[in-house]
Structure 1
Amino acid sequence: MKYKVLAADDEYWSRENLRSLISWEDYSIEFLDPACDGEEVLERIEEEKPDIILTDINMPFLSGLELLQKLQTEHPEIITIAVSGYDDFDKVKGVFVSGGLDYILKPVGKEELVKILTKALGILEEREMARKHKETNQIQEHKISSFLEDSEYSALLSGKLYGQFTAQPHVSSTKEFSGVAALLVKFYNIAEIAEKFEYDNLQMSLSIKTRLRNLTGCNAEAIIFNNCNKMSEFLIFTSYRINSLRILAENILEEFPLDEYGPVSVILHEQTGSLDDIGSMYRDMVAVLVTRPFTHSHCILACSQEEGSQSVGKTVSHRIEEEVYHLLNTGQKSDTAKLIFRTCDFKHCDNGEWSFLDVKQYVRRITGILYRYVQEQHPELTAQAEEAMDDIDYYMKCLDAPSVMASIRILLDSLWENNPDKNSTDSAGSQVEQIRQYILTSYHENITLTALAAAYHMDASYLSRMFSQTYGETIIACLTRVRMEQAIRLMEDEEKKLETISFLVGYDDYNYFSRVFRKKVGVSPREYRNNMYK
């Protein structure tokens, strides 16, 4: 940090002597243009903000002692050093009474000046360290307070509230909090956003909430919180009218541009409610959330006031199911892929005509057929099929259509591949090892198959096959295993909440993390932690 020194002396040669006596830059000090008297010093303080003032004692208009007294009263944070040509005890005494750090006799020597400046810089650095420490503590307290408030509001979403609700005074009464509308803000690239905050989920949450509150015009009545069970979701409850709410939604999307934050969905709840309605309003918005287009784009949707207006997803007819199964049984690989990807134009499911729900329903039916075939005809591939289905589920949550497609193709390919290509495995060995090392160190990031394939200039299906043949597990299976291992390690810290651990290992949705953990470990995260401390 660079500090500023302002010298004051009515004698030109004294001022210039101070300017040239030492190399100020070597001490990380900016030597400001010296002042001619005390009055000029007072005039320049507000604009130039000096940290240290060197002042002559005997100056016209406003003496050095008078200047020191004013500085002690009006700017006590400035370190002051007196300079005089007289060895006068009363003046020396006056310097210290007026808050001066020390007293230097003219002519000022280099060694003496360096000594007293070192003392002054030491004080300034101690102050700066204390300020940063205090600021860090305040920020941490603010983050923890924010998280606790989030936890209380999040409990209301599921109708559960553990302990006493301690919301802020302006929202503590249900009567006060009535007739409000709501917004749900959903981020899909939350892992990339977290990277901007060095994976400090509390700081990320607080920062996003602060930006959302600023967009409401710092409306004190608005409730804004981060869903602790789904770190990618932020909710706003406000007294805005619906037209203003739509403007707020548009402003939110502008605040978080697509190229920097990835896709964002904003769901509006057009019917107003009260604090008691938070849970039902949230469920309404989540129901609408799945109807967003399955595209890498921003989206604004509104909860319809008409019941039963939700669209019905695209379906796979019973005839098509039978045909897919027949093609699988007769080994018609090419025709099977054509039927799956060309039916309803599924290969273009990210063209804006398919909703998230459409894709989810379609994929579920197709993978169900494939899984049934594996269990009946190739039970030895059951574990591999389950891993592929986990991969697909993971990519669905990221709105990653290319990776969803690639994972389905990989699952299909595995049904006809019985003999690993040894030469291919050897040639790709270096790259897949690099990818494995990347997973081991960057497991908390949003790692996708297509992104890895693009980064290493490989076909996604080929990359997945080579990785599986080399390590005996798919890329996502490896990623999941590493994440669970890291989660267990983090559970040793009793102070870390499970929701925080979930986020730190790459899951913004705690419920999803809990399901994966139970599947891989055999018990829920909470049960596992409880057993650790028995």
Structure 2
Amino acid sequence: MKVFLVDDEIVVREGIRESFPWDDSPYTLVGEAPDGEMAIPMIRDTNPDIVITDIKMPFMDGIELCRLLRSQLPWIGIIVLSGYDEFEYARQCIQLGVREYLLKPINAEDLRQALDKVSGLLKEERRTREHAESLRARTESDTRFLREKLLGSLFSEDAMEEDAVSALEQLRTMGYSVHAPFYVVIDAAFSSVDKGQPISEDLALSSSGSIFATKSRTGSRILVLGDTVADAEERVYAAATSLAQELERAGCETIRIGIGDIVDKPGDIFKSFKAARHIRHILVEKNDAKALIFGTREMGDTPTDKKSSAVISEAKLYMSKNFTDSNLMLQDVAKAVNMSNSRFSTVFSQQNGQTFTEYLIYLRLKKAKELLRTTDKRSSQIAFDVGYNDAHYFSYIFKKNVGMTPSEYRAQNS
């Protein structure tokens, strides 16, 4: 174990350094200092297991040093040396977690016994911490496994109403409140699964308890809770949009996201999942070369009437005026044209031949190419001007869609 010595008397430091058989012991003297003020940075650098310190020292005395060690480096064992056999010093040392209190003068045997005692206490504490950490990790692993199993049971075709209610109640006792007036399921598939599943988990963790994610063989299944139908719809579209964007940012490909029906009974969660899975399968069968697409139960509709066409024209006009807003989302445009999120998503894709996200990217990159050709603005500024707060993400999207980086495009078209 590493030992650091603090004492303002050089004779004491030399005596401990020279008289103690360091080479024939499990202890190594890694440094020394004449006062607490000088000792603190040296202790941080040498990272000792045990600090031996005097009480009476200039600048920073032993009591203050012990107080700092207790608050900043609490794992260090402290042995106090003092020429004062006073109760008040001993009392303060005990309060500060000092392990041993030795009166000067000390000999090698006294110091060896004190070091052995403190070393034994530190080893026992480390074993206790390691055991507690092992138990905590095992408990967390068991909890995650049970949580995954219970969430997975909600998507089982065999789940009855009472089974779903029981699963939700067990999740509640584990600290997960999954009860809500309304539920809706997202079924997402993507590659690679290893890259994408942590993104789904992060989405759930950042949702303040309104989203729960579980793994599937091809991606993730996400349960979204809502207080009202409108609330559930808004949350599920925000979640699907955010998930799609983050998956694309992470380099995932063939992203397919199905959104199920909004249901109001735990036993119907499977129905929502079944609808979401069906939509995802439709998206897969479309074999669209695009990397980003999601749909809803309304994909089977074929809105060809003039009213739908007029609404989409209005939506595209709205997007052309607002695409530079980095916060522009599908629900904003749907609200502007007085249409539900799910209906708007379906109608827009069928009328326009592109998803909302694809068309938004098209508008932004069209403007970006114009600015690259006609201005000397930096790529990072152009990214901001067309609605991207992250210049690196802008470059990634640009190269993915245009086939070259912004700087390469400028060089070829200037």
TM-score normalised by length of structure 2: 0.50
Q: For the structure 1 residues 272 and 12, does the alpha-carbon distance in structure 2 shift closer, same or farther, using more than 3 Å as the test?
A: farther
Report the alpha carbon displacement of residue 90 of structure 1 after superposing the two structures with TM. 5.5
The answer (yes or no) to whether the contact 2:168–2:179 under 8 Å persists in 1 is no
TM-score scaled by structure 1? 0.41
CA displacement 1:372-403 (0-9 Å, x = unmatched): xxxxxxxxxxxxxxxxxxxxxxxxxxxxxxxx
Residue 269, structure 1, aligned to residue 267, structure 2: no
**Whole-angstrom CA distance in 2 between matches of 1:121 and 1:149:** 41
Cα distance change of structure 1 residues 152 and 42 upon mapping to structure 2, 3 Å threshold: same
Of the three residues 203, 207, 212, the one matched with 2:200 is: 212
1:36 to 23, 34, 37: 34
Local SS of the residue matching 1:184: strand
Deviation at 1:249, TM superposition (A): 2.3
What's the CA shift for 1:10?
1.4
* 2:220 corresponds to: 234
Per the alignment, do residues 245 and 135 of structure 1 end up closer, same or farther by CA in structure 2, a change over 3 Å counting?
Answer: same
* 1:149 is the counterpart of 2:144: no
The corresponding residue for 2:168 is 165
Kindly tell me: are residues 268 and 19 of structure 1, through their superposed partners in 2, closer, same or farther at Cα, counting changes over 3 Å?
farther
Q: Show CA shifts across 1:164-216 (max 9, x none).
A: 532347744332x45x56242466777xx9xxxxxxxxxxxxxx876533345
Whether the aligned pair in 1 keeps the contact of 2:3 and 2:49 (CA below 8 Å) is yes
Among 62, 71, 79, which residue is 1:64 paired with? 62
Aligned to 1:429: none
- CA separation in 2, counterparts of 1:106 and 1:122? 23
Counterpart amino acid of 1:235? R
**2:275 partner amino acid:** D
SS at match of 1:82: strand
Give distance in 2, aligned partners of 1:24 and 1:215: 55
Offset, 1:22: 6.3
Aligned length: 279
* Structure 1 pair 250–68 and aligned structure 2 pair: CA distance change class (3 A): closer
Structure 2 residue 165 is matched with structure 1 residue 174: no
> What does residue 462 of structure 1 align with?
none
How has the CA–CA distance of structure 1 residues 233 and 278 changed in structure 2, closer, same or farther, with 3 Å as cutoff? farther
Counterparts of 1:31-430 in structure 2, within 5 Å, are 31=30, 33-38=31-36, 51-60=49-58, 63-64=61-62, 68=66, 77-84=75-82, 86=83, 88=85, 97-98=94-95, 99-104=97-102, 112-159=110-157, 160-161=159-160, 162=163, 163=166, 165-166=168-169, 167-168=171-172, 171-175=177-181, 177-178=182-183, 182-185=186-189, 212-215=200-203, 218-226=206-214, 233-238=219-224, 240=235, 242=237, 245-252=240-247, 254-255=249-250, 266-270=255-259, 273-274=262-263, 276=265, 277-290=268-281, 292=284, 300-308=292-300
CA apart distance, 1:69? 6.8
- Amino acid in the other structure paired with 1:11: E
**Counterpart Cα distance in 2 of 1:104 and 1:223:** 58
Aligned with 2:154: secondary structure?
helix
Q: Distance in 2 between matches of 1:4 and 1:252?
A: 48
Q: Which amino acid aligns with 1:101?
A: R
Helix, strand or coil at the partner of 1:157: coil
Shift in CA distance, 93/305, structure 1 to aligned 2, threshold 3 Å: closer
**Distance in 1 between the 2:290 and 2:134 partners?**
35
Aligned partners of 2:77 and 2:290: how far apart in 1? 53
- After superposition, give the CA deviation of every residue in 1:488-507 in whole Å (9 maximum; x if it has no partner): xxxxxxxxxxxxxxxxxxxx
Cα 1:267–1:275, aligned 2, differ >3 Å: closer, same or farther?
A: farther
Task: Give me the identity figure in percent.
Answer: 22
How large is the Cα RMSD of the aligned pairs?
Answer: 4.9
Find the counterpart in structure 2 of residue 490 from structure 1: none
- With 100-109 and 277-286 compared, the bigger mean Cα shift is at 100-109
Alignment-derived partner of residue 452 in structure 1:
none
One-letter code aligned to 1:182: I
**Alpha-carbon spacing, 1:28–1:45, altered in 2? closer, same or farther (3 Å):** closer
Structure 1: give runs of 5+ residues left out of the alignment: 194-207, 259-263, 310-534
CA distance in 1, matches of 2:291, 2:10: 68
1:282 and 1:29 map into 2 onto residues whose CA distance is 63
CA distance 1:82–1:184, shift in 2 (3 Å)? same
Distance 1:307 1:253, change over 3 A: closer
Q: CA deviation at 1:269?
A: 3.0
